[in-house]
Structure 1
């Protein structure tokens, strides 16, 4: 296999990794917020909002992500948004922003079900005890239920983060210069059909392996003090 392209084109992969991690971090942050809000709305007694968020979850879980990305780009293509240069790559926010938004909405649809399950796993006795101490429902949810639910859903959130790292490669369909687009750019520039893609896949594997290791450490830290 010919890896002679690496000295000249390594920067494509390095900057692509930075863009991929930035996209993934933004998507997990906003997706988690959306997921928590949707889960809380589903637990409310407001039927219209419950129907609205159920429709949102149904649409985003029932259609391919690449289709969502293409539709979002067609609707939200802001031609006057800035292009920020980072090394040899350009971050075009007219492409990056629609991608982050649709990935966040897609992630939020899945996370909402995870959060709902995490909330339901909290023992009802603790909620009743909080009410008996005079805590309002909003304070009970914020200080009693959600911290325990977060601990319950941490592994699922970690898996979602890893999934988003891989799914961010779909943004190459709208020209976002993330890791996979960088690898394909090297293929085009060098006429090497295999090795740049293998090196890009290796980069993904290293990132997801590192994230899995860090998430296991985080789970162990949150798990300390639990009574088995």
Structure 2
């Protein structure tokens, strides 16, 4: 009963928001032309594909960086801890837009690699990896210290304890925030339009510059981003509820 009530409330909220937007747009003296999104659908489809591909690639690589970084931050090696701490502070403390410019115009130029899509994906991976590093660290440190002492008393070394005792439990706790980070990566991918990556935002910019139909170019953009991010947000909530009751 509670689930049905919650769904009803959400549906009514969505309908109310849609009605409010329609009313708002009707008050604007604007010559609508909804043939524009259809005529440029190929650009939207290409942008959607690139956005999804970049997001999956960046999150996968960022997850690997985050796991390695998180383990390094709780290791006994002071050099590894300090290097990872510097990495996290640099990427979390500077704007993503600046990082994109540095990777594309500096790093890529030095290594003679000119593929904006791959460069953008790597930049997002390092950016998200810094946040995932802290998630992994927090997940590991949330495990009861008594379990580490018990593992050591059985003869397991530090890495065996991490592998068999601590990390499997920490993994369950970091899944929801990492899924939420995926949502952030999807939205952050819009910044890659500044280096001419033809993701969704770049597609809308091209359509707007060609047709001068701003609303017809950017409203479908918002809907397409929502089609990607809402299922992920829903999955995050379900994971949190499941883990809370396990």
For structure 1, the residue ranges without an aligned partner over 5 or more in a row are 82-92
CA deviations over 1:34-84 (Å, ceiling 9, x no partner): 111112212223222222221111111111100000111012436976xxx
Distance in 1, matches of 2:208 and 2:153, equals: 65
Deviation at 1:222, TM superposition (A): 5.3
Residues 178-212 of structure 1 show CA distances to partners (whole Å, capped at 9, x for unaligned) of: 11111111112222122211110111112111112
Matches within 5 A, 1:172-211: 172-211=193-232
Single out whichever of 57-66 and 184-193 deviates more from structure 2: 184-193
> Of Structure 1 and Structure 2, which has the larger fraction of its residues in helix?
2
- Structure 2 gaps, min length 5: 1-31
**Alignment-derived partner of residue 115 in structure 1:** 136
Q: 1:125 aligns with which of 146, 154, 157?
A: 146
Q: Which has the larger radius of gyration?
A: 2
Q: Supply the distance in 1 between the matched residues of 2:112 and 2:67 (Cα, whole angstroms).
A: 33
Kept after mapping to 1: 8 A contact 2:183/2:229:
yes
Q: Please name the residue that 2:12 is paired with.
A: none
* Bigger shift: residues 2-11 or 71-80: 71-80
Counterpart residue number, 2:16: none
TM-score (norm 1): 0.85
Q: SS of the residue aligned with 2:40?
A: helix
Task: Tell me how large the CA RMSD over aligned residues is.
Answer: 2.1
Query: 2:63 is matched with which residue?
Result: 32
Q: Does 1:214 align with 2:235?
A: yes
Q: 2:36: which partner in 1?
A: 5
1:22 aligned partner: 53
Q: Decide whether aligned partners of structure 1 residues 134 and 46 sit closer, same or farther in structure 2, where only a CA change above 3 A counts.
A: closer
CA distance in 2, matches of 1:214, 1:155: 8
What is the aligned length? 214
TM-score (norm 2): 0.80
Q: Take 2:190 and 2:231, find their aligned partners in 1: how far apart are those partners? A: 18
Summarize the Cα distance change of 1:150–1:207 in structure 2 as closer, same or farther, 3 Å threshold. same
Q: Distance in 2 between matches of 1:142 and 1:57?
A: 23
* Residue 102 of structure 1, aligned match among 123, 126, 131: 123
Would you say 1:69 and 2:90 are equivalent positions?
no
